[in-house]
Structure 1
Amino acid sequence: MNAVTTTDSIAASTTDLPQRRHLATTIPGPRSQQLMAAKQTAVALGVGTTMPVFAARAAGGVVEDVDGNVLIDLGSGIAVTTVGSSAPRVVDAVRDQVGRFTHTCFMVTPYESYVQVATRLNALAPGTHEKRTALFNSGAEAVENAIKIARVHTGRQAVVAFDHAYHGRTNLTMALTAKSMPYKHGFGPFAPEVYRAPLSYPYRDGDIDGTAAARRATSLIEKQVGADNVAAVIIEPIQGEGGFIVPAAGFLAALAAWCRDNGVIFIADEVQTGFARTGAMFACEHENVVPDLLVSAKGIAGGLPLSAVTGRADVMDAPHVGGLGGTYGGNPLACAAALAVMDTIEADGLIGRARQIETLMTGRLRDLQTRQSRLGDVRGRGAMIAVEIVHPGGTDPDPDTTKAVAAFAHAHGVIVLTCGTHGNVLRFLPPLTISDDLLHEALDIIEAAFDATAGGHA
């Protein structure tokens, strides 16, 4: 791994878009307002938006809207533009590929870049065992295929997911997802043979350590499902939409050991946590956990649709020929982008950069926590950091303040997202190419938001 590149040089190399916040109008500006009005008549109501602005271009750690406002990006398109928007290697690779061919379908006339991506993923995924990879389009599609593979390999049907989990919006992945609104409400019935176990949630678990929390989960599985019926246990090593919950140390390892002892496939859903986001290539590496199957997407291809299932060769090879695939899975443009993303992470030292971002952000946020008791918990790894917002003097969730802080940040040119089962978690997913100056400026605005929403009181 090369030495960590300075953030200013990374950001400057991406484009001529200045890496600074700039408000040309109030937010939203007039052109964004016009486009939002057009959206209401053209786009299905069920497709919502977080920000009231329309993007015109983006680069590095900023997004410029159609009114000329330049916003600091602490969302990365929900952890997708991890190597920065318009990353130079990605742009060059896609331009080159689009000039050669855009599609043939790998299942009809295959192409080398698909095999290259699979080979790289097999090498990067944890474990020294022989591996195989299959490529798909979205995180949800990859999760569904991981479940298919596990069921064929084990000959079992039951699948166990966890409290606060998010795995997607398709029928099966809605069943795996815990939160009803807005993901599941009114869309049932859902796929059968899906069960839920309690997660390790250190902020709300009291004195329960990781090993004890794993025993709590596996005991419930044994009693309510039966280990011999379970094809797979699927878990996000750090939960995403559920609130950026980092399980207590030992939880993932104990869970994986139980799976091995009972012939259950352990699936790590690294859709949001993968590709250097947490200061490791994959988040399960922090706990020295080697999953049987690993699901990746989001940051894999710099913004192009691509996902993957990577895992033990004997498990991955269980489905019959023709049982896995899809028309667009492993599209050549996305494969070219993915190879460029992996090159960028290595060449620019972005795993190390993620750790630097963690130190900067958690330092600032924990300092703010000493002055604002509404910051109940500061947690996360790498550039996947969150604060859980509660009512002062306790741990009761405070979604109203969370919404108000996010709205203040949006109005002042900072893209920030919320999450959590109770909607009381503010999450930060900056691109790894963002500069320290932009991070500090964004956090200054977050601090001002807490002051403004509390009248200056903690």
Structure 2
Amino acid sequence: MSANADLHARRTAAVPRGVANATAVYAARAENAELWDAEGRRYVDFAGGIAVLNVGHRHPRVIEAVQRQLDLYTHTAFQIVPYEPYIALAERLNAVAPIDGPAKTIFFTTGAEAVENTVKIARAATGRSAVIAFVNGFHGRTQLTMGLTGKVAPYKRGFGPGPAEVYHLPFPNDRYGVSLDDTLRALQFLFAADVAPDRVAAIILEPVQGEGGFNPVPVELMSALRALCDEHGILLIADEVQTGFARTGKLFAMEHYSVKADLISVAKSMAGGFPLSGVIGRAEIMDRVDPGGLGGTYGGSPVACAAALAVLDVIEAEGLVERANVVGAALTERLRSFTTRNDLLPVSPPRGPGAMVAFDVLASHGSREPDGAAAKALTGRALEKGLVILSCGQFGETIRILVPLTASDAVIEEGMDILEAALAAPQDA
């Protein structure tokens, strides 16, 4: 039995099937945008740990910062004996986050934990309980964030009733036949039929839907939501767990808009692979929660905070915000060339800001019908050829590219060559 097969058999016996695996190859080591499996085979990594590795696997400055912190202390619980790395990271984020006025930041461990706490904070600050989210949005797998997530399968199926007072609006997406007017009209219907605006604590959305298919929020919608929130005393929450930290060609995706959120959830690429998340918000809102109402034993781990401070240094020193736009332009140009070729699987034009780039696999050339089965098969062929890519989208039709921003041009080009070969594979068979 091969090393991967042996590990997979052990995984099947020991780990529940509820946590899925995109691949059946098992990591042995990784550097920047490359990884090697248990059998020594090399892969180009276009998944980045699901948008966690904007600075790549094991960036030397991150590893060095973590090693320094390990020599000092690994845990005290910030609520018991606080420490400087937590404060320093909060100060840096408060200074750069797109928040109106003074900001404050609290840290947690996972993206879902951060999102859940944005809702807690919004409810405490407003004295209201209802929350509005969007179809195809993804916010996590805890009971509350599962309710916020706008997709039943696989995230909600079998888990019983969802949390109360969570409402969903259609997300404007011409691929699915939903216009901006449809979304705004549905919001008015919601206020008329289900919940008065003075009962709504917050509206939450991703500036670019991640699991939903890399769908950017139209500028007009973000502006309309900001105006509506201001009119009714509702807080606007930007879930930047997947979009944050230079991926979209801005440090925060909300910087693409002229309006600002009241609360921002962050995680994933903030700490370069170490578990860390947070909520950044307007200071007067963040301080509405009484002492003890927020926190967590491992929240804001000093090791993860040290890693995150190094990540911010790397983003600045290596110009990764600008690099995201360069990488995104190269990916987009190559992907556009695939759309005109009849010798490849039919694909849509690419979309997404910066290096948060995706395309859809279609049922036939000239159509817009999504083909989720073909997209899943494509990820398998790419893996066989040495490329890790992920699918997403309402029907599983979207291929998303989350290559580390630190990847060399040569490695990115190699990955795109493999993707092209995988797209051609059905015709070769």
Query: Which TM-score band (shorter chain)?
Result: over 0.9
Partner residue in 2 for 1:31:
3
- Note the C-alpha offset of 1:217: 4.5
Inter-partner Cα distance in structure 1 for 2:420 and 2:124: 51
- Note the C-alpha offset of 1:215: 2.5
What is the CA deviation profile of residues 208-229 of structure 1, one whole-angstrom value per residue up to 9, with x for unaligned ones? 4x5x355335323322322111
Q: Does 1:296 align with 2:266?
A: yes
For 1:156, which of 122, 128, 150 is the aligned residue?
Answer: 128
The answer to whether the 8 Å contact 2:56/2:406 transfers is yes
Q: Does 1:231 align with 2:201?
A: yes
- Note the C-alpha offset of 1:205: 4.1
Partner residue in 1 for 2:403:
430
Partner residue in 2 for 1:360:
330
Q: Does 1:402 align with 2:378?
A: no
Give 1:22-61 correspondences, 5 Å limit.
30-61=2-33
For 1:112, which of 84, 105, 124 is the aligned residue?
Answer: 84
What is the CA deviation profile of residues 226-281 of structure 1, one whole-angstrom value per residue up to 9, with x for unaligned ones? 21111000000000001111133322122122111111010000000000011100
Partner residue in 2 for 1:216:
185
The answer to whether the 8 Å contact 1:376/1:389 transfers is yes
Identity among equivalent pairs (%): 47
Inter-partner Cα distance in structure 2 for 1:260 and 1:360: 39
- Note the C-alpha offset of 1:162: 0.1
Partner residue in 2 for 1:139:
111
SS of the residue 1:183 aligns to: coil
| AA partner of residue 345 (structure 1) | I
Query: TM-score of the superposition, structure 2-length normalised?
Result: 0.96
For 1:333, which of 289, 297, 303 is the aligned residue?
Answer: 303
Which deviates more from structure 2 when the two are superposed, residues 308-317 or residues 364-373?
Answer: 364-373
- Note the C-alpha offset of 1:455: 5.1
SS of the residue 1:119 aligns to: helix
| AA partner of residue 219 (structure 1) | Q
| AA partner of residue 282 (structure 2) | R
Inter-partner Cα distance in structure 1 for 2:184 and 2:161: 31
The answer to whether the 8 Å contact 2:115/2:239 transfers is yes
> How large is the Cα RMSD of the aligned pairs?
1.5
Inter-partner Cα distance in structure 2 for 1:74 and 1:349: 20
Q: Does 1:166 align with 2:138?
A: yes
Gaps of 5+ in 1: 1-28
The answer to whether the 8 Å contact 2:50/2:402 transfers is yes
Q: Does 1:185 align with 2:157?
A: yes
Give 1:432-447 correspondences, 5 Å limit.
432-447=405-420
- Note the C-alpha offset of 1:128: 4.6
- Note the C-alpha offset of 1:396: 1.9
Which deviates more from structure 2 when the two are superposed, residues 74-83 or residues 442-451?
Answer: 442-451
Partner residue in 1 for 2:212:
242
For 2:362, which of 380, 385, 390 is the aligned residue?
Answer: 390
- Note the C-alpha offset of 1:38: 1.1
Inter-partner Cα distance in structure 2 for 1:71 and 1:252: 38
Inter-partner Cα distance in structure 2 for 1:400 and 1:454: 16
- Note the C-alpha offset of 1:59: 0.9
Inter-partner Cα distance in structure 1 for 2:319 and 2:392: 29
The answer to whether the 8 Å contact 2:385/2:422 transfers is no
What is the CA deviation profile of residues 46-100 of structure 1, one whole-angstrom value per residue up to 9, with x for unaligned ones? 2221111111111111011111111000000000011011011110010010111
Partner residue in 2 for 1:307:
277
For 2:61, which of 70, 76, 89 is the aligned residue?
Answer: 89
The answer to whether the 8 Å contact 1:199/1:217 transfers is no
What is the CA deviation profile of residues 392-421 of structure 1, one whole-angstrom value per residue up to 9, with x for unaligned ones? 242222011101111110101101000012
Q: Tell me: CA distance 1:214–1:185, structure 2 relative to 1, closer, same or farther (3 Å).
A: closer
For 2:394, which of 417, 421, 431 is the aligned residue?
Answer: 421
Partner residue in 2 for 1:26:
none
Which deviates more from structure 2 when the two are superposed, residues 376-385 or residues 312-321?
Answer: 376-385
Inter-partner Cα distance in structure 2 for 1:160 and 1:337: 34
| AA partner of residue 289 (structure 1) | V
Inter-partner Cα distance in structure 1 for 2:89 and 2:328: 28
SS of the residue 2:236 aligns to: strand
| AA partner of residue 190 (structure 2) | I
Inter-partner Cα distance in structure 1 for 2:130 and 2:88: 34
Q: Does 1:374 align with 2:314?
A: no
SS of the residue 1:371 aligns to: coil
Partner residue in 2 for 1:411:
384
